[in-house]
């Protein structure tokens, strides 16, 4: 087929697909009642959320605080019952991430990071973001986005979104792409803001709290290098959002029969007392070019200058230009699987070829090391330096991956990293603890600047305390005002 004929064929096929979609893919929006182009049925929508939820928990983990989880779920269910889709099986979860974010998956799955809860000052602020995320689900915004991408031939399905990076070298779920990186339009954001105001007010919360919390997002700088981005990265702010939501709230207040609405400052502060703030070093931290994991009791030295991304299921070390990746994960293998057996299983995959390898020992741990070639569906051939190590009844896989053409540039760094895997014995590192939010009453006339100096937490400045409490760091505080501080744990 010539290039011209191929182009004509593709154009005709696209036109046929679009025509069929327009004729068969329309559904009524649950919020507006209007017809909209959606190629994904409600049954498929529910399946997306149901199948993605375990992946989210495996990648990010739930915050280990049943009372906090119950608090968030209680508010979520309260709002969901008065939403446009009360019959969905709603799930509200606090995930163990140190970034300020909230997100929703199709089918009624809503997530809050523990860090966003720390920045909220009232229960009504939590309800405002909760209502906003519920609005994305009820209005089927993510489903609409997914349908648009299917029309463009991009195709989003769980097989692509959550398939392991680099074939059988599993565990590296591509959470940063796919569903979680579907950016909403500004029109979607406006609609979800409006729905959030409506839902929280109908549930008995003061809708004026929404614009107050949005000031936090405006003040915060976008964090870089995160698996899940800051809230503003996936929720682009419409112009004058703070003023617009303030106006929405006032209009809603004017229509309410009762203005006896819940703010819930003391209750929220009580619920978040003790929550981990920032990175939790118990789940791994870096120090002088070494990654240390106190809970799993191992250490690994990674290439100097490489970026580090740590999640519950994997630790990724990236070459700054993106030309190579080193990944450490727990192997997806039955209990008792040996390093050699895992290597054989991978070598038997149709798109994998074993170049060389054999059994060895790494710092007293039974291991297997070797080199594979991995054929990508795109035609690209990746070369992989792999190490499988049995340590404390767990089987770890450490893989360094680069394009076959420049693998030699990184091979020694991959081998050195794999060979550095060892037992963590440093008592100081094993005993490290995370920073935690505490609630205290202010003394008359003291300032957050003075409090920060007294606490002496090098990771939380007076300016950060100011943002956490939304108080100028040098403003004299009234006696008895309950404020958030961050006690150092390390």
Residue 136 gets which letter from DSSP?
A: H
Q: Collapsing DSSP states into helix, strand and coil, what is residue 483?
A: strand
**Residue 141, Ramachandran bin (φ over 0: left; ψ between -120 and 50: alpha; else beta):** alpha
d(CA 101, CA 87): 26
Cα Rg, the chain, nearest whole Å: 25
| Residue in the structure block whose two tokens are 């509200």 | 92
What was the pLDDT predicted at 127? 98
Q: For residue 181, what is the DSSP state?
A: G
pLDDT at res. 45: 85
Instruction: List per-block mean pLDDT (blocks of 10 residues) for the chain, which spans 490 residues.
Output: 41 36 46 54 84 88 95 98 95 94 91 96 97 93 57 28 32 38 77 95 96 83 51 72 93 88 97 96 96 98 94 88 91 91 91 94 98 85 94 95 94 98 97 97 97 96 95 97 94
Q: What is the per-residue pLDDT for 27?
A: 53
Q: Where do we find the tokens 């030309």?
A: 323
Q: DSSP letter at 272? A: H
Residue 14 gets which letter from DSSP?
H
Instruction: State the pLDDT at residue 22.
Output: 34
- The two three-digit tokens of residue 460, written as one number: 């939380």
Please tell me the predicted confidence (pLDDT) of residue 225: 46
Q: Is the alpha carbon torsion for 90, 95, 100, 101 positive or negative?
A: negative
Q: Which distant-in-sequence residues (6+ apart) come within 8 Å of 125 by Cβ?
A: 209, 210, 212, 213, 268
Q: What is the pLDDT of residue 311?
A: 84
Q: DSSP string spanning 370-423?
A: EEEEEE-TTS-EEEEEEEEEEETTEEEEEEEEEEGGGGGGTHHHHHHHHHT-EE
Report the pLDDT value the prediction gives residue 185, as an integer from 0 to 100: 82
* Beta-strand relationship, 276-277 and 91-95: unpaired
Task: Please report, in angstroms and rounded to a whole number, the separation of the first and last CA atoms in the chain.
Answer: 66
Q: Name the E strands within 258-303.
A: 276-277, 285-287, 290-293, 298-301
Strands 422-423, 298-301: pairing kind: antiparallel
Query: CB within 8 A of 409, min separation 6: which ones?
Result: 323, 324, 402
| Ordered domains of the chain (ranges, CATH) | 13-272 (no CATH), 281-427 (3.40.1000.10), 434-487 (3.10.350)
């Amino acid at each position: 087929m010539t290039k011209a004929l191929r182009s004509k064929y593709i154009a005709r096929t696209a036109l046929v697909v679009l025509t069929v979609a327009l004729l068969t893919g329309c559904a009524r929006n649950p919020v507006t009642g209007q017809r909209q182009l959606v190629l994904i049925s409600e049954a498929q929508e529910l399946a997306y959320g149901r199948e993605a939820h375990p992946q989210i928990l495996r990648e990010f983990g739930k915050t280990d605080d049943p009372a906090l989880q119950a608090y968030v779920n209680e508010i979520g269910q309260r709002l969901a019952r008065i939403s446009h889709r009360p019959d969905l099986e709603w799930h509200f979860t606090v995930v163990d991430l140190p970034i300020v974010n909230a997100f929703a998956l199709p089918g009624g799955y809503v997530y809050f990071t523990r860090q966003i809860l720390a920045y909220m000052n009232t229960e009504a602020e939590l309800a405002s973001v909760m209502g906003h995320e519920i609005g994305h689900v009820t209005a089927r915004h993510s489903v609409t986005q997914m349908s648009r991408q299917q029309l463009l031939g991009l195709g989003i399905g769980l097989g692509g979104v959550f398939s392991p990076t680099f074939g059988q070298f599993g565990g590296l779920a591509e959470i940063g792409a796919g569903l979680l990186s579907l950016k909403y339009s500004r029109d979607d954001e406006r609609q979800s803001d409006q729905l959030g105001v409506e839902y929280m007010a109908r549930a008995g919360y003061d809708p004026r709290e929404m614009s107050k919390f949005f000031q936090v997002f405006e003040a915060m700088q976008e964090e870089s290098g995160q698996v899940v981005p800051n809230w503003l990265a996936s929720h682009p702010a419409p112009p004058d959002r703070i003023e617009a939501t303030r106006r929405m709230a006032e209009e809603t207040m004017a229509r309410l029969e009762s203005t006896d609405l819940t703010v819930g400052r003391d209750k929220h502060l009580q619920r978040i007392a003790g929550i981990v703030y920032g990175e939790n070093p118990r789940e791994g931290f870096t120090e002088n070019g070494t990654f240390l994991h106190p809970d799993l009791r191992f250490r690994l030295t990674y290439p100097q200058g490489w970026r580090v991304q740590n999640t519950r299921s994997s630790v990724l070390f990236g070459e700054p230009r993106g030309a190579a990746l080193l990944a450490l994960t727990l192997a997806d293998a039955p209990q008792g699987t040996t390093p050699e057996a895992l290597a054989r299983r991978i070598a038997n995959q149709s798109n994998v070829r074993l170049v060389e390898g054999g059994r060895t020992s790494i710092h007293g741990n039974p291991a297997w090391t070797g080199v594979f070639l991995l054929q990508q569906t795109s035609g690209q051939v990746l070369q992989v330096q792999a190490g499988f190590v049995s340590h404390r009844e767990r089987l770890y896989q450490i893989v360094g991956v680069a394009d076959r053409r420049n693998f030699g540039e990184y091979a020694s760094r991959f081998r050195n990293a794999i060979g550095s895997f060892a037992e963590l014995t440093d008592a100081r590192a094993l005993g490290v603890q995370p920073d935690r939010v505490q609630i205290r009453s202010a003394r008359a006339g003291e300032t957050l600047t003075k409090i920060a100096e007294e606490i002496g937490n090098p990771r939380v400045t007076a300016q950060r305390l100011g943002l956490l409490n939304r108080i100028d760091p040098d403003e004299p505080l009234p006696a008895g005002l309950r404020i958030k501080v961050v006690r150092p744990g390390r």
